[in-house]
Amino acid sequence: MFNRANYKRATSNLIPVDIATLGYLVVTLAYILISANRLSGEWLHILLRIMAIGLIGWMAWISPMIKSGFGLFLRNFYPLILFGLFYSETDYLNNLLFDNLDPFFEKVELFVFGCHPSVSFPKQFPQPWFSELMNFGYFSYYFLILLLPLWLWVKRRDSFQYVIFIVTTSFYLFYLFFILIPVAGPQFYFEAPLRTVPDSGLFRWLVKVAEWIGEGPTAAFPSSHVGIVAISYRYAKGLLFVYLIFGLLICFSTVYIKAHYAIDVIGGFLFAPIFFWMSCKMYRWWLR
């Protein structure tokens, strides 16, 4: 039963990732409500947010009863489970202010590089083994996102909650940017055969499955793959070599499979310190 005592108990047990997730849910809810006359099926997205806010409140309320290590891990880790849903949703919200800005970014790409690296790179290296390496590199992103929390939980638990907050908040900042500045990326903007990626093996198939499940014409600039790996790299003491190798593969593979323009990779490196700084500011605010 809802009463003042239960409300106080829930709010007093909120943790940093709860605050970040609630903030994202509230901001996007306001955006949906303001733009409701330009959306279809908005009530489903509103209902999902109400349910998510209620679930976070419930988790905060039962927090004192969570004693197992696995339960405490999930208590902080749960936003990473929601990222796929929030990412897919950026495609639903990203054209309310602007149409896709790919024509502008294509011109910037040509100005900077004199060509389209996402087109010329696969043409120069069409070999199946190289294509498979690039798809492996792209798919390794999901491995890195899972690796850091697990490693922190085992090796540096005192930093676990703080780092998860920084990564989670950085994700949300990237998603808000994708909603406001819509860029589809080469795989959606270019016509066939320019968007064709050389076929290979297992990892090419896995990337196709991941694209089929949650990919849409959204979130190209800046590359959150590059940005989040760059932010995570700061905290991956003991995993630096792993993050360096896979991080480099991700930088090249996002362009090779046409998920991003080359300038999106540069944008990922440029925005990473900005979103990192903003996330740190928010954490210090929460501590106060």
Average pLDDT over residues 138-157: 92
Residue 189 lies in a domain: yes
Q: Is 198 left (phi over 0), alpha (psi -120 to 50) or beta?
A: beta
Residue 20 lies in a domain: no
Please report, rounded to a whole number, the percentage of residues in the chain having pLDDT higher than 70: 97
Q: What are phi and psi of 209, to 5 degrees?
A: -65, -45
| Span 51-95, pLDDT tens digits | 999 999 999 989 888 888 889 999 999 999 999 999 999 999 999
Number of domains forming the structure of the chain: 1
Residue 112 lies in a domain: yes
Domain containing 185 equals: 84-287
Tell me how far apart the alpha carbons of residues 160 and 81 are, in angstroms, rounded to a whole number: 17
Cβ-Cβ contacts under 8 Å for 144 (sequence gap 6 or more): 229, 232, 242, 243, 246, 247, 250
This prediction has a pTM of: 0.94
pLDDT number for residue 264: 97
Tell me how far apart the alpha carbons of residues 155 and 146 are, in angstroms, rounded to a whole number: 14
pLDDT number for residue 236: 84
pLDDT number for residue 195: 87
| Span 264-275, pLDDT tens digits | 999 999 999 999
Residue 19 lies in a domain: no
Residue 269 lies in a domain: yes
> What average pLDDT does the chain have?
92
Estimate to the nearest angstrom the gap between the alpha carbon of 132 and the chain centroid.
23
Residue 283 lies in a domain: yes
pLDDT number for residue 113: 95
Residue 194 lies in a domain: yes
Residue 104 lies in a domain: yes
